[in-house]
Amino acid sequence: MIHSRLTQERYQRREDAAAKRYKRHVDAAAKLVIIAVIVLTGVGLWKTSDKRGQKLLAVVRHCTAVMGTDCSIAATVEPGRRAYAEKFLRRAEAALRNAEALLSTWLDDSELGRFNAAAADRHVPLPAESLHVLHTAHDAFMQTNGAFDVTCRPIIELWRTAPRRGAVPTRAELDRARTESNWDLIRLTDSGAVKLADTVRVDLGGIAKGYAIEQAADVLRRAELAGGLVEVGGDIVCFGRPPSGESWKVDIKDPFDAGRLARLRLPNGGAVCTSGNYARFSQLAGRRYSHIIDPRTGQPADVTHSATVVAADAVTADIWATALSVLGPAGFDLMPHGVEAMTVTGTKDDPKIHCTPGFRRLMKKPTMTTISTPRRYEEE
Ligand code: AMP
Ligand code: MG
């Protein structure tokens, strides 16, 4: 009896410790995640099944920093397979770092850094992955009517350095930056790319994160875990079985406040990416300028405060989140089938929240007034 009580107490302490550890993880993640939070609460690791009799899974989680932001990689597994899952979490992290090395255009020694520094008319050999991302970026440029344009790097640089220079770029500077770098000045070949002017520079910041988390999620998918999640700076891919319940739950941050704007339920997983002018911006004379540029005008895209996109893969979601930041809800019509989105425009006191009907269906209890904006080809 005494023995059994002692065992129970020890057991209780272990439970408490596990619950505390678990809470610490959730707290850490809540701090890390800028835009979205996967809700992992309610997972009692000591139970074997949930209310519906479905076998409960253990959550194995790894938090780190990558691509200049916070990152969280998690897997759901049968409790006996934790060590196995941890091995794949480390491999998924390696995939993220590999993607960063391939695509970062701010590291001079990355593949794309070398392309940016290369002289005109020389063939720059590129690894298949980087080349694939460049092709995808070009397709996106066409699909978004030029709103997503990785060649507008000189314009991005002008805005990024504006606070240091103490003045916003002039019209003449922006026009020159546009002629210095654009898709007409790049030839993609089977094994690399050729710049037609020394000044051509690309910036893959609007696609690299999506590519990286998709690669990392692929590592987890191939490991045949029960489920998995990769999140970098609020962009998320999740698949398979969530830690509890039937759906992955993803919170979307309110661009005007600290809280959440909406919660999504993703029964089949998927990718959720958010772009916003509230997280990263330049500041000059008390005014904020978005880090996202409208390539057609050279001006920061400041009308849309945040754009969230749900798609089957993170590359698509990442691209369209940036593109919708430029286009606003008018861009919904350009999105491919199966891609759902929400944009926030207006002001803190009078926000305008537009979403596609498919996005609205994913929202758990839509708490705020949303304007449902069907695409031309769909009925609500
Ligand atoms: P995201 O936060 O995913 O929307 O990515 C924004 C990043 O993409 C910026 O920091 C720039 O590096 C780059 N970027 C800015 N404007 C554009 C644009 N119109 N098209 C493609 N990339 C852009
Ligand atoms: Mg993005």
Domain final position from 157, 175, 195: 195
Residues 80, 60 contacting (CB under 8 angstroms):
no
Nearest protein Cα to ligand 1, atom 12:
205
292 lines ligand 1 (CB under 6 A): yes
Output the CA 248–ligand 1 centroid distance in Å: 27
- Sign of the Cα torsion 317, 318, 321, 322 reads negative
Ligand that lies nearest to the alpha carbon of residue 273, given by its number in the listed order: 2
Q: Is the CB of 318 under 6 A from ligand 1?
A: yes
Give the whole-angstrom CA distance, residue 250 versus residue 265: 7
Kindly state the tokens that stand for 208. 């690299």
Instruction: Supply 160's token pair.
Output: 């990024």
Same domain, 218 and 361: no
Count other Cβ atoms within 10 Å, centred on residue 240. 18
Q: Residues 66, 93: contact at Cβ < 8 Å? A: yes
Do residues 95 and 227 both lie within one domain?
A: yes
Residue 205: DSSP 8-state: T
| Alpha carbon distance 282, 178 (integer Å) | 20
Question: Closest ligand 1 atom to the C-alpha of 293?
Answer: 16
User: Within this chain, do residues 373 and 340 fall inside the same structural domain, yes or no?
Assistant: yes
- Cβ(318)–Cβ(207) below 8 Å: yes
Q: Are residues 165 and 286 in the same domain?
A: no
Ligand 1 atom showing the smallest separation from residue 207 Cα: 3
Q: Which ligand is nearest to the CA of 317?
A: 2
With respect to residue 95, please indicate whether it lies within any of the assigned structural domains: yes
pTM score of the predicted model: 0.85
Supply the pLDDT for residue 109: 74
Residue 7: how many CB atoms within 10 A of its CB? Answer: 10
pLDDT at position 376? 72
Per-residue pLDDT at 310: 98
Residue 274 has a CB neighbour count (10 Å cut-off) of 27
**Phi and psi, residue 86, nearest 5°:** -60, -35
Is 115 near ligand 1, meaning CB less than 6 Å away? no
Question: Of 44, 54, 46, 51, whose CA–CA distance to 23 is shortest?
Answer: 44
**Residues of the chain falling short of pLDDT 50:** 1-19, 21-46
Q: What is the per-residue pLDDT across 29-56, written as a single tens digit (0 to 9) for each?
A: 333 343 344 444 333 334 556 666 667 7
Dihedral (CA of 132, 133, 138, 139) sign: positive
CA 337 to chain centre: 20
Nearest atom (ligand 1) to Cα of 150: 21
Atom index in ligand 1 nearest the CA of residue 210 equals: 3
Give every CB contact of residue 261 below 8 A, 6+ residues apart in sequence. Answer: 252, 253, 254, 255, 306, 344, 353, 368
Ligand 1: does its nearest atom lie under 6 Å from the Cβ of 149?
yes
Residues 281 and 375 reside in one and the same domain: yes
Using DSSP, state whether 66 is helix, strand or coil. Answer: strand
C-alpha torsion angle, residues 255, 260, 263, 269 (rounded to 10): 70
222 and 75, same domain (yes or no): yes
**Residue 340 lies inside a defined structural domain of this protein:** yes
Q: In the chain, how many domains are there?
A: 3
Nearest to 60 by CA among 36, 31, 80: 80
Within 10 Å of residue 193's Cβ, how many Cβ atoms? 21
- Whether residues 19 and 93 share a domain: the answer is yes
Distance CA(101)–CA(106), nearest Å, equals 10
Out of 156, 160, 231, mutate this one to test ligand 1's pocket (max ligand atoms within 8 Å of CB): namely: 156
CATH number of the domain enclosing 182: 1.10.3980.10
Q: Judge whether 310 and 340 are in contact, CB under 8 Å.
A: yes
**Burial class for 53, CB neighbours closer than 10 Å (0-12, 13-18, 19+):** exposed
**Nearest one of 77, 42, 38 to 59, comparing CA atoms:** 77
CATH, residue 361: 3.10.520.10
Distance 85 CA to ligand 1 centre (A): 33
Tokens representing residue 132 in the block: 């694939």
Q: Answer yes or no: are the C-beta atoms of 274 and 253 closer than 8 Å.
A: yes
Q: How far apart are CA 229 and CA 92, in angstroms?
A: 10
- Nearest listed ligand to the Cα of residue 204: 1
Q: Kindly state whether residues 190 and 219 are assigned to the same domain.
A: no
- Regarding the beta carbon of 150 and ligand 1, being less than 6 Å apart is answered yes
The response to whether residue 295 sits with its C-beta less than 6 Å from ligand 1 reads yes
154 lines ligand 1 (CB under 6 A): no
Distance CA 359, CA 341 (A): 6
**The domain containing residue 287 runs over which residues?**
272-380
| Residue of minimum CA distance from atom 2 in ligand 1 | 275
